[in-house]
Amino acid sequence: MPKKKYLATKKEKGLSSEKTYKDLLQELKSILAKGQYDAYKSVDNIRVQTYWQLGERIVREELNN
């Protein structure tokens, strides 16, 4: 029967120093910030495409009349 694996303590995983812990937190914050930035960029791109299509449709209608 395989032995159960238990969660390692901070010291066993190398998070014993405060600097290492702060580095981890900073990296996690960076990942979240990048994800938010990418999401905002995607939304802006879709918004621009939508307005472009609206404008194009209005111009086509004006040219027909």
- Of residues 50 and 13, more confidence is placed in 50
Alpha-carbon distance 65 to 57, whole Å?
A: 13
Q: Model's pTM, two decimal places?
A: 0.58
pLDDT tens readout for residues 35-57 = 999 999 999 999 999 999 999 99
With a CB cutoff of 8 Å and minimum separation 6, the contacts of 24 are: 15
